[in-house]
Structure 1
Amino acid sequence: MDNALISSDAGDPTVDYERFRILARITHDAVWDWNPVTDQIWWSDGLFSLFGYKSKDWKPGAAEWRERIHPDDRQRVISSVDTAVRECRSSWTSEYRFRKADGTYAYIHDRGQLVVQHDRVVRMVGAMHDVTAQVTALARQQQADQLKFIIDSALTAMALYAIVRDPATGELVDMRYELINHMAERMTGRSAAELVGKTMRTAFPGIDKTGIWPRYKHLAETGETMRYHNHYTANGYDIWYEVQGVRHGDWIVLSFLDITELKNTQLKLEALNQELFRSNENLQQFAYVASHDLQEPLRKIQSFGDLLKSSGLPAEGPAADYLDRMQSAARRMSVLIRDLLAYSRITTQRDTFCPVPLDDVLQNTLTTLDMLVLESNAVIEADPLPVVQGDATQLEQLMLNLLTNALKFSKPGQAPHIQIRVTALSASELPSTVRPTKAAPRYVRIDVIDNGIGFAQKDSSLIFNVFQRLHARSQYGGTGIGLAVVDKVVRNHGGAVIATSEPEVGATFSVYLPAND
């Protein structure tokens, strides 16, 4: 020790500093003696043995000690020392990180006693105790406790196994429970004390009967990550779970997620789907009956009505009027059955969807309506239409019903003028009232705009209902199914349709369909 660093100004006759320093050499702590007036400080050999410094390289003064305090702790510690000296406290203590000679940091518990004379601190003596081991052990314990908390809080059952091999052959024969979490206890109904130390095949012999063991053995032998669903019905259990497994050396971690409720729901849905499938088959049979057996009596009514007219029945009078009404009702019934069939045949199957050019759809529709367009002197203008994913037959029904609706509800004495406009837009640009049945990044909006009689906007949510009519049948014919077909086709294609209108101003039907990416 460099004696030049030892202060000769004891200053306090109640303290035997020489005896203090002799005793300080016995302890392993870094004992110190500091004069805050002169900033001279004496260190015991413990400073150098603890932290790896050499006494000849240690500069005098407290600055050497301050510089080695961790930067994140330095100001706090120095301020606490200054406060203790300024307030003439009797003792001081602090914990901080201190840099060792090799550049690493030790955790220090430092404490000192202050000697006060004439309201001024003239001496501080104390010791730095290395508590790195305790702090590290505490930190590790805290990490272990945190990890255990995380594992035990998991909704997935987890277990750690040790691979068990036959001592004679080295063959993998079992896996031994080493650790399980709370969820594993709940799922198995067994405590950790009951399972830890036992082997899997001993605790659950059913794994051999259900064929599960070969999967675990394959994981243990190959290290290939495992994931599968299993239905375990042995040993009094009836549960579905998803298994995931990984191997690290001779350790295996398996996690089990209870999906019993999910599977039961899935099975119920499958049963409902089967029931729906049977219901659809019955509907198809009904459609066949409707298209043949129901139409046949109507055709006979119309045929016999024609025969009655040609049999000499007077062209005027009550009988002729009754006959006309009967045939008119039969025709309306025939149209209604036909439209209902068209509506029922629109399915939600998308596996047959393919790119459909809507320009072709429009041309086919105009060919179908050519006589009606010609008779009404209608003008139809259309932008170039896009290609969309869909069913061509359904999309033709969509276009046919939209154009028929625009032609039907034209103003008396005024030629229909129909415009078909196309706009591309992103999902974020969709109006808040538009809710497509399929999410897509981009959509196309097809507006069918007419100059017809229009309708009150409050009725816009009603017109897409089956059999909904806003006008008397005597004014405008039809079954009230056409726009319901439009709505169903659009929904089948993942889109949405809305209508805007004012009476005597015309109507706009806006169809939103996912863009063909």
Structure 2
Amino acid sequence: MENIYEDLPTYAFLQGGGEMGELIRTYDWSSCPLQTPDQWPSSLKTIIPLILHAKVPMFVWWGNELIQFYNDAYRDLLVAGGRHPHFLGKSAYQCWPESWGIIKPLIDQVLEGEGVYMENLLIPHYRYGTLLDSYWTFGYSPIYDEENHPVGVLVNCTETTQTVVSQQQLEISEAFSQQIFHSSPVAKCVFMGENMVIQMVNDSMLTLLGRDRSIIGKTFMEVVPELTVTPLMGRLRQVLATGETYIQPEEKQELIRFGQPYTGYYHYTCSVLKNEIGEHTGVIVAVIEITDQVRIRQQVEEREAQYRDLSEHLEQVVKFRTEELEASNEELVSSNEELQDLNKQLQLANDRLQQFAYVASHDLQEPLRKIQTFSSLLSQKYEQQFDESGLMMLSRMYKAGEQMSTLINDLLAYSRLISPSDEFNTISLQQIIASVLETLELTIEQSGAIISIEPLPTVRGDAMQLGQLFQNLISNALKFTKKDQMPRISIAAELVLEKDFPKSLKPTAKAECYHLIRVKDEGVGFDSKYASRIFGVFERLHTKQEFAGTGIGLAICQRVVENHGGAIYAESEVNKGATFHVYLPA
């Protein structure tokens, strides 16, 4: 392959130096105040190879423009900020505008001939477009020309952000541990060495011992000589030697508290403390006084003898209560049987109601069809014999028949939903919505509606009922739109845990989580005080002249959702659209 750099000039002092050596050799320096490398000052020609071959991060700012050069080790720090290789040949201000207020005074100091060294200095800078805090340890040294004048800055640097942040976190953790130790209601004390010198003690322990903070730095036996005769000191040394935790659930101790003899009972734990290399250095003791509990237990034990004489009587009482309970259980069984009978009667009533609704609707449809047919025939055959008023009456009669037919069909659909379906299958709501949109295709085209649908889940349910649910919701969103406004409808879903279910809603079936499907429009909306009323049968918030309909659609929606074990509610404001929230068990 042809070498694209073969015609470029070579400069002996720039040979090698890794990637940055290559970039400096191929960089177009002709447009830079420095001009081409063969015209560079000798001091710059000397310092550039030095930084290129260094294994630590180094860079140079040269001349009045503070032109930037850097080596491969410093390049790795720039890559993390997305700034390599753009910083080569640019001025320091162009490279570091976000931290210029910090580094510019240091640069000025160096160009006066005075070197600078900083440890863990906070210098914020951008990384991938975000301004972040970073910490650096660095040295700025002046670079002199042949006349011994400072003409540039040589920088050695190391990023110490991780070290500083870790130290800060450690200090916070230690302060937090100290706070927990001193504020703990459990009495705690730290002993160091074989002689158990008290290094740290909290207020709870001082109260328990009846001492003040002057005990810090003294041995345990100096502070509580009354415990010399107890095995406590031996136990502390055993824990220090073996590293095994000692737990005493209950022990009686005779103390001198605030100058007065005191007998108490204590639960305590002794645990070893280790240094960073794992050596045993001390023991921490946590003590809980249980004097009150022990004395109560002793009182209970004394009184138990008194209660033994009552045991026979209690047995008789228990026997009597047991017999009563058995009788109550028999009554409960009988009540359960009655409840089952009532459920059967309710099911039978529902079946009969459905049968009645079907027969009633069929019997009503027949004369209704005749009314529509004859009114249509009258208007067609005898049109010339009716004046305008008569024809209007025939038209209103026909339309009233259509409305009555729609109402009967809606009532029949609602009556069929009284009992939940027994044929639940895995249903794709994405397919249900697609089928509904196909059914409503003409209405959608005529209205110019824009409908956005996010990915929808699959649920267990009845496809026909779920189709009724979403057809009613989408039809309402299309219908209840301001005049001359293009409907906008969005349908989205998310998973909701049972614990996050709205407290005001009561699903008809318990589930660990629910699918929440939102159907949102930008239509006329309604006053939020009617949010529960709209789901009632025949409930309408607008006149038939404003918006057609029977007032049964949302009642059907609620019945379908309840049949599927879920819940539904609506949110809206007048002229700001409405959102229907449908919860279905996942």
The TM-score bracket by the shorter chain reads: 0.5 to 0.7
Take 2:370 and 2:446, find their aligned partners in 1: how far apart are those partners? Answer: 31
The equivalent position to 1:359 in structure 2, one of 430, 435, 449, is 430
Say if 1:495 and 1:513, in contact at 8 Å, map to a contact too.
yes
Say if 2:420 and 2:564, in contact at 8 Å, map to a contact too.
no
Q: Deviation at 1:385?
A: 0.6
- Does residue 185 of structure 1 match 2:313? no
Say if 1:453 and 1:504, in contact at 8 Å, map to a contact too.
yes
Take 1:301 and 1:461, find their aligned partners in 2: how far apart are those partners? Answer: 37
Matched residue, 1:312: 382
Q: Deviation at 1:403?
A: 0.3
Q: Please tell me the residue identity of whatever aligns with 1:507.
A: A
- Does residue 443 of structure 1 match 2:514? yes
The equivalent position to 2:558 in structure 1, one of 487, 492, 499, is 487
Q: Deviation at 1:292?
A: 1.4
Q: How does 1:93-132 map to 2 (within 5 A)?
A: none
Matched residue, 2:367: 297
The equivalent position to 1:265 in structure 2, one of 322, 335, 357, is 335
Q: Deviation at 1:391?
A: 1.5
Q: Deviation at 1:78?
A: 12
Query: CA 1:78/1:487 → structure 2, altered by over 3 Å: closer, same or farther?
Result: same
* Deviation digits for residues 248-283 of structure 1 (CA, Å, limit 9, x no counterpart): xxxxxxxx5741332232122122112212211221
Take 1:139 and 1:514, find their aligned partners in 2: how far apart are those partners? Answer: 56
Q: Deviation at 1:183?
A: 4.4
Q: How does 1:30-109 map to 2 (within 5 A)?
A: 74-75=252-253
Matched residue, 1:454: 525
Matched residue, 1:276: 346
Take 1:324 and 1:503, find their aligned partners in 2: how far apart are those partners? Answer: 34
Take 1:322 and 1:340, find their aligned partners in 2: how far apart are those partners? Answer: 27
SS of 2:535's equivalent in the other structure is coil
Structure 1 unmatched runs, 5+: 1-62, 84-93, 97-134, 153-179, 190-240, 242-255
After superposing on structure 2, the runs of 4+ consecutive aligned residues of structure 1 that deviate more than 4 Å are 70-74, 76-79, 137-149, 186-189
The equivalent position to 1:324 in structure 2, one of 395, 400, 410, is 395
Matched residue, 1:402: 473
Matched residue, 1:248: none
Please state which structure has a larger fraction of its residues in helix.
2
The equivalent position to 1:432 in structure 2, one of 498, 503, 510, is 503
Take 2:252 and 2:484, find their aligned partners in 1: how far apart are those partners? Answer: 95
Take 2:556 and 2:584, find their aligned partners in 1: how far apart are those partners? Answer: 15
Say if 2:452 and 2:490, in contact at 8 Å, map to a contact too.
yes
RMSD (CA atoms): 3.9
Matched residue, 2:450: 379
In terms of mean alpha carbon deviation, does 274-283 or 296-305 score higher?
A: 274-283
* Deviation digits for residues 349-370 of structure 1 (CA, Å, limit 9, x no counterpart): 3643222110111111112111
Q: Deviation at 1:377?
A: 1.4
Q: Please tell me the residue identity of whatever aligns with 1:184.
A: K
Q: Return the TM-score normalized by structure 1.
A: 0.53
Q: Deviation at 1:485?
A: 1.0
* Deviation digits for residues 21-56 of structure 1 (CA, Å, limit 9, x no counterpart): xxxxxxxxxxxxxxxxxxxxxxxxxxxxxxxxxxxx
Query: CA 1:429/1:396 → structure 2, altered by over 3 Å: closer, same or farther?
Result: same
Take 1:329 and 1:141, find their aligned partners in 2: how far apart are those partners? Answer: 90
Q: Please tell me the residue identity of whatever aligns with 2:467.
A: E
Say if 2:350 and 2:418, in contact at 8 Å, map to a contact too.
no
Q: Please tell me the residue identity of whatever aligns with 2:368.
A: L
Say if 1:290 and 1:337, in contact at 8 Å, map to a contact too.
no
Take 1:325 and 1:370, find their aligned partners in 2: how far apart are those partners? Answer: 28
The equivalent position to 2:408 in structure 1, one of 337, 340, 354, is 337
Indicate the structure whose relative CO is greater, using CA pairs within 8 Å and at least 6 residues apart: 1
Q: Deviation at 1:378?
A: 1.2
SS of 1:463's equivalent in the other structure is helix
Q: Please tell me the residue identity of whatever aligns with 2:545.
A: S
* Deviation digits for residues 360-402 of structure 1 (CA, Å, limit 9, x no counterpart): 1111111211111121111111011101122211111110100
The equivalent position to 2:541 in structure 1, one of 470, 476, 501, is 470
